[in-house]
A and B are shown apart, each in its own frame.
Chain A
Amino acid sequence: MSFVKLTTSALALAALSATTAAARDQVQVAGSSTVLPYASIVAEAFGENFDFPTPVVESGGSSAGLKRFCQGVGTEHTDIANASRAIREKEIKACADNGVTDIIEVRIGYDGIVFASQIDGPAYTAFSQADIFNALAPKVMVDGALVDNPHTKWSDFNSDLPDAEILAFIPGTKHGTREVFEEKVMVAGCEATGAHDAMIAAGMSEDDAEDACLEVRTDGRSVDIDGDYTETLASIDANTNAIGVFGLAFYENNTDSLKVATMAGIEPTTESIAAGEYPVSRPLFFYIKKAHIGVIPGLKEFAEFFVADEIAGPDGPLAQYGLVSDPELAATQEAVFDEQVMGGGS
């Protein structure tokens, strides 16, 4: 009985102290599942080397992370949002509406997006953006005319590709990776195949044609994956003919079950991405709430540690894991040190 009494009173005390002093002493991070591995590596090393507690890193996607980030200033809100794309105007405005005005943008490096398939599957070894567009767009060019996508096999439009059913697992719309996929692959393919010009010739405005290029077919051959890359991997495992979209780091950890395709003739490696040769890559970011610096202990130290040479540099653990390190890291370090906020402010 005394144990129950003890725990009850301890609980009551704890609940009381929690409501009175809600101050938190660990950094709270949420956002992109692509950035999560890097953030967790940094958080772990930060906890080991500093006297601050290890930061908490949650995933959930870039948009979800930025949404939580923009909910307001105060210890019940996150301090850092990870994003695999740059913050949008709309999000900056949503932030400002909730009082989150001073945001520090930090670019940590670059990540490649790769197309991979089952290691024993058909020989998907070389794609161009036009191939992906022809396979996945709802309307494509056939014999000079824009028609509803008639293709069911890869060999239907490119005889170099295998005679296999089209099935692709692409990231869902809440992922930042989807945006890169749309802009660097679908739009590029749209322009390369002439579909973009045909749309404008058919009387669409420039903006509408741009939007139409981003769409994917809805007849079940292109499947959105809202979860993480492991879900894509499981889908690939279950479908011999399927191709999937992965981050380079994820692919490099699963080379025993995946084979990667070249894009426009370039093989995705950290080197080819750093050199800017591989076309489908994107910068990775995290965003810091400046109002929390000085309130949450260790926040600035964590941000500085994240972009330090020994972490984010070419020989650091992040590059080892698959991040393509940023050649302009020194400028980023300076920006973090000076707490430069977005929008050209102080």
Chain B
Amino acid sequence: MTDASLPANPAAPETRKSVSLVAPDARTQKRKAAEARFRMYGIAGIATGIFFLVVLLSTIVASGTGAFQQTFINVSVYLDPAKLDKKGNRDPEDIKKVSTFGYTPLIQQALFDVVETNNLETPLAKRGDMKALISASAAAQLRDVVLENPGLIGETVDFRILASSRVDGYLKDRVKREDVVRDKNIDAEHLDLIDLLVPLGIVEKTFNMDFVTGADASESRPEAAGIGVAMAGSFFMMLVVLVLSLPIGVAASIYLEEFAPKNRWTDLIEVNIANLAAVPSIVFGILGLAVFIQFMHLPQSAPLVGGLVLTLMTLPTIIISTRASLKAVPPSIRDAALGVGASKMQAVFHHVLPLAAPGILTGTIIGLAQALGETAPLLLIGMVGFIASNAPDGIASGLLDPNSAMPAQIYEWAKRADPAFYERAWGGIIILLVFLITMNTIAVILRRRFERRW
């Protein structure tokens, strides 16, 4: 039988012989080529992604770094008692009556004196010509100092005041000489004078801390605008979101995952939570307007309301991630705890929850980061506009006083007329990105360090 079967397959050893272990045959080559092509696609995909990321980041950095530098004018201002305290009694109430408009001429005079004493050659021969160089915020800066120390009236005090946005733009190459011809806010002569003042150290461009800590400014003085107060607004909103959505979200997920009976009702709730996570955020804004402001009469533009709206938006995200991390804890842990006599609640809180905590925290941080970058719902509850001008002075005022949020502030700046605001919008994006990257990094570190796999 075996002998007879041998010659029946005489060709087989021959074909096998032609297959070399060293040189691949056509089919193997084809498969290898397909794999190589697939790798190429992958690399091309990643390269495209990285390319766009680099373009995006470099655009943001290139456009935004200007906001972190600001041009200042160092000038000694004589606080003329004849102008600031007409009655001469240094009564704070009387000094208060002099509005910022009374201070503007003093600053212009001070800068004009600098020009005269240094014998700078300029066709600008009037005190009023200095107006184009000085920020409108300088008068308020002086007035605040004088109101705090009425004793300074009559003395000459050194001030570091903001230069106007056009001057600032000129030193940052944003305002070009050829464009100034049609600009009624500044003339070429002003730029010539700036060129003379810079070597004297009177006009200087330095790091601008006020951008990080300051408040929003009106459209006529972009040089004074800062994102600090909006940052506080975002902080208080995140506080509300964290304090409300973490306990509610975790409690809801623990109940649904560990205690709730599996029936049609819990299925329905599960489906709805998943749906809520996909609802566009503007819908939550409309809900917030109707429920929190019009029905509950909470104050408009308040971070408390913003936080409540964002809580609604963040809850589904937190519930879904918490349930996922509770599910990831193996049943053997629960069984062991129950086996040694722990109650269901003890098993959950002493054993399951601590093991799930890193996952819960990661989900919470990512939910918060998402809420931090949200603008749309804030639009409807009055947090977008010229708002962030009063710095909060406590927790209650931080929650209830009108404020904006970082993304809303960026949006607001991006639509203002003066191009100087555009630069600040990019600067704001850099700060927002730093926050988001920090939060996501913390989430990644938490996951790496504490997550356990079974």
Contact = CB atoms under 8 A, between A and B. Distances in A.
Given A17-B396, A229-B417, A253-B419, A57 B385 contact: yes
B425 to A, nearest CB: 10
Given A30-B385, A54-B389, A56-B386, A18 B218 contact: no
A317 B220 contact: yes
Contacts of A45: 100, 218
Contact of A249 (B387, B399, B414, B417): B417
A56 B401 CA distance: 10
Contacts of A40: 218-219, 386
Contact of B400 (A14, A253, A255): A14
Interface residues of B, number: 51
Residue among A39, A40, A56, A310 with the most chain B CB within 10 A? A56
B136 A317 contact: yes
Contacts of A7: 239, 243, 395
Interface in B294-332: 294, 296-302, 304
Interface SS majority for chain B: loop
Contacts of B304: 11, 14-15, 18
A346 interface: no
A253 B182 CA distance: 10
Interface in B209-228: 217-221
B137 to A, nearest CB: 9
A43 B390 CA distance: 11
Nearest to B379: A60
B293 interface: yes
B158 interface: no
B296 A19 contact: yes
B140 A58 contact: no
Interface string B143-179: 1000000000000000000000000000000011001
A249 B390 CA distance: 27
A315 to B, nearest CB: 10
A48 B93 CA distance: 15
Interface string A11-45: 10111011100101010101001001101110111
Given A11-B243, A40-B218, A227 B415 contact: yes
A22 B221 CA distance: 33
Interface string B70-88: 0000000000000000000
A159 interface: no
B350 to A, nearest CB: 17
Given A24-B299, A49-B100, A8 B243 contact: yes
Contact residues on A (Cβ < 8 Å of other chain), bracket? 35 or more
B382 A18 contact: no
Contacts of B382: 28, 30, 56, 58
Contacts of A30: 382, 385
A58 B220 contact: no
Contacts of B143: 48-49
Contacts of B400: 14, 17-18
Given A18-B400, A37-B218, A56-B387, A76 B300 contact: yes
A207 interface: no
Interface string A264-275: 000000000000
B101 A253 contact: no
Nearest to A44: B218
Residue among B140, B299, B384, B401 with the most chain A CB within 10 A? B299
A321 B299 contact: no
B418 interface: yes
Nearest to A227: B415
B240 interface: yes
Interface string B352-380: 00000000000000000000000000000
Nearest to A25: B401
Q: Which 4 A-B pairs have the closest CB atoms?
A: A58-B385, A256-B179, A37-B219, A40-B386
Interface of B: 99-101, 136, 140, 143, 175-176, 179, 182-185, 217-221, 239-240, 243-244, 293-294, 296-302, 304, 382, 384-387, 389-390, 395-396, 399-402, 414-419
